[in-house]
Structure 1
Amino acid sequence: MALATRTDRKPSLTRTFWGSTIGKKTVMAVSGLVMLGYLVAHMFGNLKIFFGAGEFNAYGHWLRTMGEPVMHYGWALWLVRVVLLAAVVGHGVAAYQLSRRDIRARPTRYLHKRPRASYATRTMRWGGIILALFIVWHVLDLTTGTVHTGGFQEGHPYQNVVDTFSTWYGNVIYIVAMLAVGLHIRHGFWSAAQTLGAGNAARDRILKGAANGLALLLTAGFLSVPVAVMTGMVN
């Protein structure tokens, strides 16, 4: 009598976690906080442009030498890029799968016409698409120089930034993307806190205030650079 082979193996903890709704929401929350931390650091780095070309270019050079002599030239920057790429992919995939799961669970539209969610909540999906497209454009513009106008200069980020914001389309793309960032953070920070268990009835007001403050700070900080170039403060 032949022995039956067992094929019904129990799924791994990783697969079980990823397959659950709470698992996907946790991935979105953690990856979102990773990207938020990067945005804060990136904004402060961008503000160095107000201290002149020398300091801004030196900051750009430091990004490639940080970690030396323990790491070789550019290694730490590539490590940051890999972590960010993993965060962006994980965030996007989890968001898409949660969206599809929500649609399958609610195949018909609500009968009432009045929207339940805030404007930021209802535009999170479109905001995510806008930001994904912006990331591609931003990298091709100021990192590789592929779509850069005015002659991309390797090692001269100050002049490259000025070139970008000296064009109307560069300003439009950047401003629209930064407004999308603000809306995304305004809703996403509070949502991440709820998912990770930091929120409750007593803390909700504080968390929402922190989300609004972060969204306003980052939006204003990022937009200050193109505005400075457009007004001639930075040239």
Structure 2
Amino acid sequence: MALATRTDGTEKTGGTGKRPSMTRTLWRSTVGKKAVMAVSGLIMLGYLVAHMLGNLKIFFGASEYNGYAHWLRTMGEPLLHYEWALWLVRIVLVAAVVLHGVCAYQLSRRDIAARPNRYVHRRPRASYATRTMRWGGIILALFIVWHILDLTTGTAHPGGFQPGHPYQNVVDTFSTWYGNTVYLVAMIALGLHVRHGFWSAAGTLGVGSATRDRVLKTTANTLALALTAGFVAVPVAVMTGVVS
């Protein structure tokens, strides 16, 4: 028997029709998509904290920073082969980014479709947080592509990209005005995204409550500020000559 569609995007069966799987039902529901966004966002947040701490090793000199970059490729040895652990991290991150982006787009389309007759009533303005998350997500997606082409593949690197010498490659990137501009704008967008995203994820996963609101808000603000400051510290240090 044909499946009917509920208003929340899930399917229901009629008569003796086969019921959809729990995973499929969860994925098609608005609540399920928000949960996927929350979990994938927390995975990316964990990576960002580790990545920011690793970036700060640049203040200890080229040897320390290049050694850290080499360790990323050898972590897990001898159990894992060279770069296997790094590629596992990359695969998980790509999956998280794709799921996060797809769910964000689909939820946005549902939100637009669910609005009352917009041709009769004035369309309410999106909240500041909603607009920040939407445009911030686009900015960050474009930044990720540029960042990979710049410091991973070297395709968009401003100087002579040197494989195996990340310290010099970072200094070369932040010695240009456009490299600094792109990075600083993206990091501001990241801070705003983390600030609202952490709060939203906590609510979606049922962590938020009236008694925990203050703690969650403080945690979200602290994470956003720490990540923004930690990432911005590197280009500022290059611009001011602290790292050269």
**TM over 0.5: same fold?**
yes
Check the 8 A contact 1:120/1:186 in 2, yes or no: no
1:25 aligns with 2:37: no
Letter in 1 for 2:168: Q
- 1:109-148 superposed Cα distances (whole Å, 9 cap, x missing partner): 87487x573x333211110010001001100100000110
Give the one of 194, 213, 217 matched to 1:208.
217
1:58 aligns with 2:67: yes
Counterparts of 1:76 and 1:208 in 2: how far apart (Å)? 34
Letter in 2 for 1:174: Y
CA root-mean-square deviation: 1.6
Shift of 1:10: 1.6
Aligned residue in 1 for 2:186: 177
The 1:112/1:15 distance shift into structure 2, 3 A limit, reads closer
Aligned residue in 2 for 1:105: 114
- 1:162-199 superposed Cα distances (whole Å, 9 cap, x missing partner): 00000111001000100000000010000000000000
Q: Which 5+ residue runs of structure 2 have no aligned equivalent?
A: 1-14
Number of residue pairs aligned between Structure 1 and Structure 2? 228
1:15 aligns with 2:46: no
Aligned residue in 1 for 2:83: 74
The 1:93/1:7 distance shift into structure 2, 3 A limit, reads farther
Q: Structure 2 length as normaliser, TM-score?
A: 0.90
1:123 aligns with 2:132: yes
Runs of 4+ in 1 over 6 A off after TM superposition: none
- 1:51-89 superposed Cα distances (whole Å, 9 cap, x missing partner): 000000000000000000000000000000000000000
Q: Residue 158 of structure 2: SS of its match in structure 1? A: coil
Counterparts of 2:132 and 2:169 in 1: how far apart (Å)? 31
Q: Which 5+ residue runs of structure 1 have no aligned equivalent?
A: 1-5
Letter in 1 for 2:58: I
Check the 8 A contact 1:32/1:188 in 2, yes or no: yes
Q: Residue 214 of structure 2: SS of its match in structure 1? A: helix
Q: Structure 1 length as normaliser, TM-score?
A: 0.93
Letter in 1 for 2:208: G
Q: Residue 174 of structure 1: SS of its match in structure 2? A: helix
Aligned residue in 2 for 1:3: none
Counterparts of 2:184 and 2:196 in 1: how far apart (Å)? 19
